[in-house]
Each structure stands twice: as structure tokens, then as C-alpha cells.
Amino acid sequence: LCMIFSFCLFVFVLGVLCGFNISLPKRVEALNGSCVFIPCTFDIDQQYKDNLTDSAKRMWFKAGGSTAVFDSSSPNTGLLKGEIFGTATQNNCTTRIDNVDQSHRGSYYFRIEANGKLQYNYTGPTYSQVQIGVLGECHIAASIEGLDIKKNLLLSVSLRCSTKIFCPSRPPSLTWSSSLIESVTGQQYQSQTDIISDLNFTVSHRHHRVTFTCTATHQIQKQNTTKRSHLLSVQYAPKNTSVRINPAGLVLEGRSVTLSCSSDANPAVNYTWYRDTERPLNPVQTGPNLTINNTDPTHSGRYYCTAENKHGTQNSSVLLYVQIQTHFCLKKETHTGSEQVEGEGVNGNNLHF
């Protein structure tokens, strides 16, 4: 199971005409304020081979413009500032552009200028241009499937988070957090183009509805932080099943009483009630509540609640005792004789004269 930041796929297009070739991506993307690499190699026609020296200018132009936006002879004076790698005689035009912002969006083409007649634009319909896209933030795509915890079987789960490395000299960092109290730490490693962090843990019912968040921090001109969260859904058998009596305390004959059953489970359970007055136990009612109206002593006994879902069952019980209300006769002595007064009560309470 993994959670993945979006990444850029370089699609190289090769232009060929009379020995002038260039290979570069069709599109590159940069985070606003970060840098971007344009992988690039070029070839020239053999008749100009002697004109190509390391002092040749390697330049970039914006499509539709007539002024160079990057010049290898002064890499920090144009619209695009950065560094071009290797040398002209190595046919290297790979370039890093620093501090990219929204004004840098657009298509660019490469030009080589050397001594003599070697002055060539890799442009037009024959040669590819590279498009620079500028992202306001690093977009994240995440997915994770529902997890099943069957009885006492615990599953090992891995969440993955990754983000593109725009500047190798300033790689981003990835951190994990969760809505649980304890801290979580992922195992981080680096590929050629991405920073990746895997969070591995043994999942249990307590991870149900827990949010895990991956935070990517890019150290650029202004720190850029992007977060992506996912809510786990864990399926598990009933746990902590219990029964309570309402109202609590003594249940008086003739009164109503409700037995309520609750359980922690996912998916939700079905409840079934049983009595122990007969063997085997026969179901008497379904649902979380069992209400008995106009109770009498025959309702006394142990009541069982069974909570069940597709992953398992769990039982709980409670002992119900219905107190008989007794009638009695009181004899009251007076100076003139005695009289009888009838009343009722339980344990000396609720007497009426």
C-alpha cells in the first residue's frame, strides 16, 4: 500500500537534419522558487567540426523571442540564471535553471554560436523545444486499500510517500505524522529523481479511522511545505462487547426495563439476544436493545447478547432480577383500640398510610 507524489516523466524527442541533432525532454517541471534541470545533448554537421571549441556559446532562447535568455558566457545575467554543464566539445547542453518562477513558463530552444560560420538555432518544426512548467506546489496523489484484521491475525502494512527532487543540491525532506499519540518515523531513501519514505507498521483495530499524513518540505527561497493525508479503514471482529441495564439498580415488578448491548467492530455488527432459561439457547430478539414491559419474576434470569460481523463474534451477558412487590398489613395501636391499614413496599420503602 502506498501513497505517491506526482512526478515528471521526461519524454525525449530527437530532431535530425543534415547532421544537426538535439535530444532534450519535451517538458520539464519545477517547483516555484526551486530549480529545474534540462537534460540536453546536441550534434553538429561534420563540416563545422573544426569550428566547435569549448569557447563556443551555448544559449537558450524563449520561443518567439530574439534575445537570449541564457548565455553560457554569462550564465547569471539573462532571464534564466543558473549553470550549463560540461563543455561544448562534449556536445553537452544540459542546463540547471535556478530560482524558477511563473515568468519562466513557456517553450525554449537551444542555439550554438562558435567561431566562423557555426551559428545554428535548434528550432522550427524539425527540432524539439522544451517546455518549462512551474508548479505552485507539489501535487500529491495517494491511495490505500481497506485492511482486514481477521480474529487475531495482524497484518504488516507499508505506506509510501515520495516527492520529486527538483534540486539535488537542496533535496526535500519527508516526515510522517498520525492522529495517534505516538510518533511515527518512516524509512527514507533516494532514487535518481525522487525522495521516498516508507512507513511500515503492524496494523490493528486501533488504527481504524486513524489519519496518517506525509509532509514534503522543499528548501527553496521560501520554504514550500505540502501535506497529504489518508484516513485508514480497518475491518476487524467485534471487541469490548458489553451489556448494561437501564434503569440501573433494582428492577421492580410491573416496571419496564431495557437491556442495551454495545460492541466495537468494523463493519457494524448484528446483535442477537438469548435467555438461559432453556437449553439450547434460543434467540429471543435482535437489535442492540431488548425492552421488557410490565416485568414480573418470570423475566428474571441471565440474558446474553451476541455481536457478530463477517470477521467473528463476541458474547456478553447480564443477570436480570425482578424484585417482587409485597403486600402487607400494619396494625396501629390507639388508646381506644386498634385498626388495620393496608400498604405495600419493598424492603421497608414506599409505605402508604
Asked if pLDDT for residue 330 goes beyond 60, the answer is no
Residues sharing a CB contact under 8 Å with residue 335, sequence separation 6 or more, in sequence order:
none
Q: How far apart are CA 30 and CA 328, in angstroms?
A: 92
pLDDT for 338: 42
Q: Which of 39-43, 116-120, 218-222, 329-333 has the highest mean pLDDT?
A: 39-43
The amino acid that residue 166 corresponds to is F
- State mean pLDDT over 16-35: 82
Q: What's the mean pLDDT when you consider all of the chain?
A: 80
Which grid cell sits at 127?
A: 527540432
Q: What is the pLDDT of residues 274-289, one digit of tens each?
A: 987 665 566 778 999 9
Banded model confidence at residue 17, pLDDT cuts 50, 70, 90: very low
Q: Is 49 exposed, middle or buried (0-12, 13-18, 19+ CB in 10 A)?
A: exposed
- Widest pairwise Cα distance in the chain: 147
Check if the beta carbon of residue 167 is closer than 8 Å to that of residue 29.
Answer: no
Distance of alpha carbon 94 from the chain centroid: 36
Q: Is residue 51 within 8 Å of residue 119, measured between CB atoms?
A: no
Question: Has residue 2 got a pLDDT over 50?
Answer: no
Highest mean pLDDT among 12-21, 39-48, 145-154: 39-48
Structure-model confidence comparison of residues 325 and 67, the more confident one = 67
pLDDT digits 0-9 by tens, 196-246? 888 888 888 888 889 888 888 877 666 677 888 888 888 899 999 999 999
Q: Over the Cα atoms of the chain, what is R_g? A: 40
pLDDT surpassing 50 at residue 21 = yes
Report percent pLDDT > 90 for the chain.
Answer: 36
- The domains found in the chain, sorted by start residue, are 8-135 (2.60.40.10), 140-235 (2.60.40.10), 237-323 (2.60.40.10)
Phi and psi angles of residue 54, each rounded to the nearest 5 degrees, phi first: -70, -15
Contact 75, 83 (CB under 8 A): yes
294: confidence class by pLDDT, cuts 50, 70, 90:
very high
Cell 433494582 sits at which residue?
250
Q: How many CB atoms lie within 10 A of CB 135?
A: 19
Q: What is the predicted pLDDT for the residue at 64?
A: 86
Q: Give percent of the chain above pLDDT 70.
A: 78
Range of weakest confidence among 52-66, 186-200, 333-347:
333-347
The CA distances from residue 252 to 304, 319, 320, 353, in Å, are: 21, 14, 11, 21
The terminus-to-terminus CA distance of the chain in angstroms comes to 75
Closest by CA to 56, choosing from 76, 73, 33, 34, is 73
d(CA 180, CA 188): 21
Which single residue is written with the C-alpha cell 518515523? Answer: 185
Q: How many CB atoms lie within 10 A of CB 150?
A: 13
Question: How do beta strands 27-31 and 20-25 pair?
Answer: unpaired
Q: Which residues contact 28 (CB under 8 A, 6 or more apart)?
A: 8, 10, 36, 37, 38, 130, 131, 132, 133
Of residues 214, 206, 208, the one with CA closest to residue 160: 214
pLDDT (tens digit per residue) in 109-155: 999 999 878 999 998 666 679 999 988 766 554 545 445 565 555 67
Q: What is the CB-side half-sphere exposure of residue 222 using CA atoms within 13 A? A: 6
The angle formed by the CA atoms of residues 94, 96 and 102, to the nearest 5 degrees, is 125
Could you please report the per-residue DSSP string of 269-312? PEEEEEESSSSS--EEEESSEEEE-S--GGG-EEEEEEEEETTE
CB 230 within 8 A of CB 146: no
**Cα–Cα nearest to 211, from 160, 176, 239, 174:** 176
